Amino acid sequence: MLGFFKKGLSKTADAIRTVIPKRKTRLTKEELEDILLESDVHYDLIEKILSEIPYSEVTREQLASKLLACFNWTYYDEKAFVSPKVQLIIGVNGAGKTTTIAKLSQKYLNEGKSVMLGAADTFRAAAIEQLTRWAEKIGVPIVATQQGHDPSAVAFDAIASAKAKNLDHVIIDTAGRLHTQTNLANELKKIVRICDKAHPGSPHEKILILDGTQGNSAIDQARAFNEMISIDGIIITKLDGTAKGGSVFSIAFALEIPILYIGIGEKPEDLLAFDKREFVNDFLDAIYTEEER
């Protein structure tokens, strides 16, 4: 994992260097404001951070404590469950849901676990085809149907099949965009109800996929999904392709939902369990010199 978080923040570090070409041991608040804005930390959060530091120049340690505090309410405590563990994957089209499902599946396979996929995004034929190709590529079974069929039925059948085969995980894709937000909310709520009927207590995790290249604009999107069905965790994708790495602080602070993984590439190993301390340290490495550690 050496350097993987840094890989995910490389473009953010490049953006920071346009503000301060050379790293420093201390930053004025004006410099810090410019750096955080450039990396897409929300302005209200920047104001809060700066107002809580009572010095004209800011050290690495002082900023680190404030950035870590953004994650104070995002602790994840995995719920007890009876196998199979059912995960509902949610997010708008283009956020990277299908690729993330494949990465999660490969992660579980590498851990010696068995996986069943459910192609419950029946709104788009392309979504069914793409997930089916991934299932074939990584060698996991999938329950799929035709475009337009009831996605709740797909979820039910996937869970029932996994239970019959004594599998460990069920990962269910969902539609990211329907004709109206009301349609989407009603469909997701129905899928949640049907999952519970198929396997009481499920889905055990409702995971929202956010496109890291959207930065702070993803916050309103996340709030909307959270109001629909109450999100348990977030996976941020495409972090390696954006200079908006600082938005991770804003997302965590604004939503108070655990960040479970970040995606920094297309390969299965490019899905990393989120570590807030490693993330903060790598972010600060782009700003401060070593002396202030």
Strand partners, 263: 271
CA distances from 190 to 13, 152, 197, 289 (A): 43, 7, 11, 52
User: What pLDDT does residue 1 have?
Assistant: 44
User: What pLDDT does residue 2 have?
Assistant: 45
Q: To 10 degrees, what angle do helices 247-255 and 218-229 make?
A: 30
Please identify every stretch of the chain with a pLDDT value under 70, giving residue numbers as ranges.
1-4, 178-179, 291-293
User: What pLDDT does residue 3 have?
Assistant: 63
| Interval 41-70: pLDDT, tens | 999 999 999 999 998 899 999 999 999 999
Q: Whole-model pTM?
A: 0.93
User: What pLDDT does residue 274 have?
Assistant: 92
Contact 226, 257 (CB under 8 A): yes
User: What pLDDT does residue 269 have?
Assistant: 76
CB under 8 Å to 263, separation ≥6 — which residues?
96, 99, 100, 103, 212, 235, 236, 237, 238, 239, 240, 270, 271, 272
